């Protein structure tokens, strides 16, 4: 892999959830960046209401404001080796602090090797349909194993980019007995806007053999981007002497018009060995970007499962 490609893959690993990051230190071999966001947002839904002894104690309005801070750095060790690291946390208006990422690693001529709390290999496929500022990725949340999800602890990771081919692998060392998991994935990007991806996650979960398969496709042409994801989960429930097989899919469509982006997503997933619907909804949203720093958005989720109510979510976000 050429050094230019290596540098690109390292920078991708260090990118914050914000598209911006300020370089606060740089010399001949090292660089430090700080970025993040302040995001004031709210959700309105009957799902937020709570009752005690028949009396309503919580309203339909729920504040979901948050802020994130990301610090990332890299250093050139030699002509063939680069070191990198990233830390990112999130705080909400209640003062709860959550660590989203904390990892470090070595970049080589054949790819990047890292350890810590970071994404798994399947995330490059689920990103095809995880496209909304408000809702989305519900089917993946319902089906995915730990080894097929983002922001996982005890995570040994590999990622390599070879022309249009991206390869990824992870090993999650479980702190509980019989809970280790792993994943592998590949994505190929064609020059005409088409991306194809497939991945597998498996291992143990509380003495249970678990398996997950993901297949995704994304196509961009002019101002349109379409994405589709199919997930299949097979749980060999040894303790209960049975199998649990569930699947799900997500479809995403985006259209950019000047400073506007319009997004629509459909999510569906099953549970209880495919007998019941775990997820079934359509979400739409509009995002307006004033500039690279400031955007505002609003979305609506149409729920099609009984006892689940529709949701409205809106916010304004400043990236730095």
pLDDT value for 52: 87
Q: What is the pLDDT of residue 55?
A: 84
- Distance in angstroms (rounded) separating the CA atoms of residues 150 and 170: 11
Q: How many residues does the chain have?
A: 320
Q: How far apart are CA 162 and CA 35, in angstroms?
A: 28
Query: What are the tokens at 14?
Result: 């260090």
238 Cβ neighbours under 8 A, 6+ residues apart: 207, 208, 209
SS3 at position 15: coil
Please provide residue 79's backbone torsions phi and psi, each rounded to the nearest 5 degrees.
-65, -20
Q: What's the number of CA atoms in the CB half-sphere (13 Å) around residue 53?
A: 0
61 against 177, higher pLDDT: 61
Domain 119-289: state its class: mainly beta
Q: Tell me the residue ranges of DSSP E strands in 173-259.
A: 181-189, 194-204, 209-221, 224-237, 242-257
| pTM higher than the cut 0.75 | yes
For residue range 184-197, what is the model confidence (pLDDT) as tens digits? 999 999 999 999 99
pLDDT in tens, 257-283: 999 999 999 999 999 888 899 999 999
Residue 154 CB burial class (10 angstroms; 0-12, 13-18, ≥19): middle
Per domain, the residue ranges of the chain are 1-112, 119-289
What share of the chain in percent tops pLDDT 70?
92
Rounded to an integer, the average pLDDT of 295-301 is: 98
**Per-residue pLDDT at 228 exceeds 60:** yes
pLDDT on residue 243? 59
Mean pLDDT of the chain: 91
The answer to whether residue 16 scores a pLDDT higher than 60 is no
């Amino acid at each position: 892999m050429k050094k230019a490609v290596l540098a690109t893959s390292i920078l991708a690993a260090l990118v914050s959830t914000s598209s911006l990051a300020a370089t606060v230190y740089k010399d001949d071999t090292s660089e430090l960046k700080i970025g993040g966001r302040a995001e004031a947002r709210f959700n309105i839904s009957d799902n937020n209401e709570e009752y005690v002894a028949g009396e309503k104690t919580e309203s339909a309005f729920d504040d979901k404001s948050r802020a994130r801070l990301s610090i990332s750095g890299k250093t050139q060790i030699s002509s063939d080796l680069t070191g990198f690291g990233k830390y990112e946390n999130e705080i909400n208006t209640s003062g709860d602090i959550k660590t989203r990422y904390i990892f470090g690693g070595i970049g080589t001529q054949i790819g990047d090797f890292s350890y810590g709390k970071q994404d798994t290999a399947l995330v490059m496929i689920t990103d095809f349909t995880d496209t909304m500022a408000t809702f989305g990725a519900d089917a993946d949340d319902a089906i995915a194993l730990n080894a097929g999800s983002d922001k996982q602890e005890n995570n040994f990771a590999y990622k390599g980019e070879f022309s249009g081919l991206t390869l990824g692998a992870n090993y999650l060392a479980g702190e509980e007995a019989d809970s280790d998991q792993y994943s592998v994935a590949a994505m190929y990007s064609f020059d005409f806007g088409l991306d194809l991806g497939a991945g597998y996650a498996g291992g143990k979960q509380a003495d249970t053999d678990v398996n997950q398969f993901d297949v995704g496709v994304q196509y961009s042409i002019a101002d349109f981007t379409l994405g589709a994801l199919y997930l299949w989960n097979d749980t060999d429930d040894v303790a209960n002497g049975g199998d649990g097989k569930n699947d799900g899919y997500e479809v995403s469509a985006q259209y950019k018009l000047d400073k506007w982006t319009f997004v629509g997503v459909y999510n569906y997933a099953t549970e209880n060995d495919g007998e019941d619907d775990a997820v079934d909804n359509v979400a739409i949203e509009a995002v307006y970007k004033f500039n690279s720093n400031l955007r505002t958005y609003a979305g609506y989720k149409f729920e099609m499962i009984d006892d689940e109510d529709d949701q409205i979510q809106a916010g304004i976000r400043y990236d730095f």
